[in-house]
Chain A
Amino acid sequence: MKNKIYLSVIIIFLIFCFVIFYNGLNSSNIYTPKINTKQKLPIFEAKDFYSNKSISSEELFKEDIFYIVNIWASWCVPCRKEHKFLMELSKSENVKIIGLNYKDNLNNAKKFINELGNPYSKNLTDKNGFLSIEFGAYGVPETFIINKNKTIVKKFIGPINKKTLNQIMQIIK
């Protein structure tokens, strides 16, 4: 009787372990920071891409509209792909796009903009990457939507595509 109880406990334990590990096999092992958590817009001071003048986040986001912060670099291949969608987005009057040029060579970045167009109402330089860290980014490209209350309401990791463009349009309309 005692042996039977031991055996049942061991079998239940093994089944439990099997279920846990089996589920573990199906779940992704790549961690992505939560992208839907609402986060207050960080307060910062940054240099303007063209004039190299300092500009504060209060001045930058002063209008009562939606803002999009897009982290980009001329050396980033996916940024080239998403650029046409940003150009499309820049036509909307409901939103202003702020570019954040990440760890880039200024001349290459200017060439990139001249070649593909400028969707940004303001472009900032992020030479050492600290500004991107303030936003909670860990790569390029990344895009953040900031609502009228100056809260980051949505974050897109990776390039924008047709699907994500529609999602953004839905949020900002």
Chain B
Amino acid sequence: MRILKTFLLVVLFINIANANTDIKDKNLNNKILKNIRCLVCQGQSVYDSESEFSSTIKLLVKKKINEGKSEKQIYEFLRKRYGDWVIFEPELNKNTYILWILPLLLFLLGGAIIRKKLK
């Protein structure tokens, strides 16, 4: 009886652990797909699109996650083949410094103007 109880507990723990990994993988999968642009129906993400290209990318991302590839590695793989544009969120590099820093500068400038007015 005791052996059976222990066995059931072990099975239960394994299942919970597997379910957690599945949920984590699924969340990561969806996050990545929402950040990849469909090149056939441009403006839509791969997650939303039903094109042949998107269905291939969906399978590919799933395969890469199962192989243990990280989010960054998957983006890098696609970037190499299709350019920066394929990813919705641009990476911080020398071509995108202005894109990332300009809103912050405008925010600081606005703050400075408001502060000056209030004084």
Contacts and interface: CB of A to CB of B under 8 A. Distances in A.
Question: Do the two shown chains form a genuine complex with each other?
Answer: yes
Interface of A: 29-31, 33-34, 39, 103, 128-130, 132-136, 138-139
A139 B82 contact: no
A130 B40 CA distance: 16
Nearest to B56: A129
The secondary structure that dominates the B interface is helix
Interface string B26-69: 00000000000001101000000000110111011001000000
A31 B52 CA distance: 17
B60 A33 contact: no
Given A30-B42, A31-B42, A33-B39, A136 B82 contact: yes
Interface of B: 39-40, 42, 52-53, 55-57, 59-60, 63, 80-83, 85-86
Contacts of A31: 39, 42, 85
Closest 10 CB pairs of A and B: A129-B56, A136-B81, A138-B39, A138-B53, A33-B82, A33-B83, A31-B85, A128-B59, A133-B60, A130-B60
